[in-house]
Chains A and B, each alone.
Chain A
Amino acid sequence: MSAAGDLADVLADPTRCLRLDPAGWTALLTAARAERLIGSLAHRLDGLDIPLRVGAVLADARADAAAGRCRALWEAEMARRALNPLGCAVILLKGTAFVAAGLDAGRGRSIGDLDILVPRDRLDAVEAALLTAGWEWVKPDPYDDDYYRRWMHELPPMIHRDRDAMIDVHHTILPPTARITPDPAKLVAGAESLGSGLSVLSPEDMVVHAALHLFADGDLSGGLRNLWDIDRLTREFAERDETFWLKLAARAAEHEAGAVVARAARQSYDLFATPVPEDWRTRDALDAFIRRRLLARDGWGRPTRPVTRFCFYVRSHWMRMPPMLLARHLLVKARRRDGP
């Protein structure tokens, strides 16, 4: 079993950590850091009878996550102040949304950039308002800029000149070039207000987004963390509303994401024992391979299984772009690498 596998087991059932020896603990902490799950682990193991030293490391991780939460909420507030005069919906995504909405998925979660979703027809106004409020372009390269604007689901990343914090402004949740086309108008229409001028996606859309982000938009690096989001979200939503899984299936279909959401639910059931309805658990040929990729991390924190990793890297580009566009993109990138 890989260290990432042990990590998944302990996250699913914290009492399993009581069997670890000191070397096992060191490997667990290292794998959790490498997968950016140390804060989540710290919250899961809070209150258990764990070795003193481990307790100290995890207490630090909790404090770190608390500071990260504070920073994330502040960034959201800064964006709210900049965008409020426009009167358009500003929908928080991913980690910031989880902590702003007080969800279990936000407990201990590491949060990177601020991700927001705005209606596409307001994109220019949002961009102008952010530039006025002190955000600046990170990549002033014309090809990258043009690429983002034509083919991506978000503006080129911006960074705030004083606070050094990044913002990703999305107008939908997958690149328009991807095989799957979620409906951004429905995402915006279904969003739930937090009462502050900010919103979050509806529970179903939140899970759809998490699943698409995990399986339709990347090479699965950081995948274990994203899958943990799915476990936390579906558990909490299903507990609140017993018809949640039915609603999720219906909503996923509206976004062409039924298969991806089902795949995410299956993986979450396999790795974290998420209570997923039985009819969601039909396996396919790719499941075992994906699981292999999600757990490709050893007790030294090293990525393992390079061939599997590479396959998913190739897959990520294949899913994101049609072949001709991909060829052109790789050509430009390759030229730039060799260039002066």
Chain B
Amino acid sequence: MRHGIVVRIGPAGFRIGSDWRVPIDQLQALYADYPAPEGGVADFTVRLEAVRPWRRVVRPSVRLAGDYALPDALPLPLSQGLLAAEMGMNLQMALGQRRFLLLHASAVERDGRAIVMTGESGAGKSTLAALLQRHGWRLMGDEFALLDPATGLVHPFPRLISLKNDAIAVAVASLPDATFGPLVQGTPKGDIRHLVPDARAIAQMDTPAAPTLLLFPRFGGGADIRPVAAAEAFMRLTQASTNYVTLGERGFDALTRFVTTVRMAAIDYPDMPTAAAMIAELSR
């Protein structure tokens, strides 16, 4: 392809090719501090390609393709090319990753102990993970927690943090020294802006941690903590996993071990300082 970049995020190497320069330049800037794939071989390939040859120039429209793709995915305008690339990398993990059980969750770590936070889109798991960086936590990832069926450890996948709508202003105010990507407007999920994880998250992208707490956070309302039973957590995590079925027995064993060893709670939080205090308390 005309333009390309390779990058490694935790255990996965990616090769992203594009018919246009702009998304690749943006990726290059945001992933500048990330390593290259191990041995130069990428696990996954993502393509940002014009839906028709002339659509590279006329009303440019990005079709997302790669090793793994959804057959009925709608093309995106070129102004959302960076988002397309990120979606493409997520899709490779979601559909192609076999070594880990993928949980659609954010994760942070302190003193070798990991907290996994899962919930519906909009529950605030990305924002929580991003802002907990300021409270002494290492960001492991805002999209996927990678559970190793062999060891039970959580492995990091610290890709760019995807902030949406109101969370953007909150993060910009709280993390004034952080690197942000361009504001991508009018996406199916509203406005999106990417945040580069801090240096520690990138430097320790190969360091796993033992999970100790599973949270189901929900933004809004008064501060509240409710216990969650293992069976309910198990069912909700099968929904939140993209490859639970594919992994078969390995997936079942990994998830059973996870929900029977970690502490679990659902929390409602009105603002960030309250959430940080609640999480510090729960992880004690």
Contacts and interface: CB of A to CB of B under 8 A. Distances in A.
Interface of A: 21-23, 25-26, 29-30, 33-34, 51-54, 56-57, 60, 63-64, 67, 70, 300-302
Interface string B210-245: 000000000000000000000000000000000000
A53 B13 contact: yes
Nearest to A61: B98
Enumerate the 4 nearest inter-chain pairs by beta-carbon distance, A residue then B residue, closest first.
A22-B40, A60-B98, A53-B41, A30-B45
A302 B67 contact: no
Interface in B44-74: 45, 47, 49, 65-68
A26 B41 contact: yes
Interface in B97-136: 98-99
B37 interface: yes
B188 interface: no
A21 B43 CA distance: 15
A70 B98 contact: no
B176 interface: no
Contacts of A30: 15, 45, 67
B17 interface: yes
Contact of A301 (B37, B40, B66): B66
Contacts of A52: 38-39
22 contacts: A22-B39, A22-B40, A26-B40, A26-B41, A26-B42, A30-B15, A30-B67, A33-B67, A34-B67, A53-B13, A54-B41, A56-B99, A57-B41, A60-B99, A67-B247, A70-B248, A300-B1, A300-B45, A300-B47, A301-B45, A301-B66, A302-B47
A219 B147 CA distance: 41
B15 A301 contact: no
Nearest to B45: A30
B246 interface: yes
A214 B44 CA distance: 29
A120 B248 CA distance: 36
A160 to B, nearest CB: 14
Interface residues on B, range: 20 to 34
B43 A53 contact: yes
Contacts of B65: 301-302
A226 B38 CA distance: 33
Contacts of B37: 53
Contacts of B248: 67, 70
B98 to A, nearest CB: 4
Contact of B41 (A22, A34, A300): A22
Nearest to A20: B41
Contacts of A67: 246-248
Interface string B237-261: 0000000001110000000000000
A53 B67 CA distance: 16
Contacts of A70: 248
Contacts of A64: 98, 246
A339 to B, nearest CB: 19
A51 B41 CA distance: 9
B101 to A, nearest CB: 13
A33 B44 CA distance: 10
A51 B40 CA distance: 10
Given A26-B15, A67-B248, A57 B43 contact: yes
Given A30-B67, A56-B99, A70-B248, 5 more contacts: A26-B42, A30-B45, A34-B67, A51-B41, A60-B98
A53 B45 contact: no
A302 B39 contact: no
Nearest to A28: B41
Contacts of A21: 40
A315 to B, nearest CB: 24
Given A33-B67, A64-B98, A23 B40 contact: yes
B45 A51 contact: no
A301 B246 contact: no
A67 B42 CA distance: 24
Nearest to A62: B98
Contacts of B246: 64, 67
Nearest to B69: A301
B41 A301 contact: no
Contacts of B38: 52-53
A236 B122 CA distance: 56
Interface string B159-187: 00000000000000000000000000000
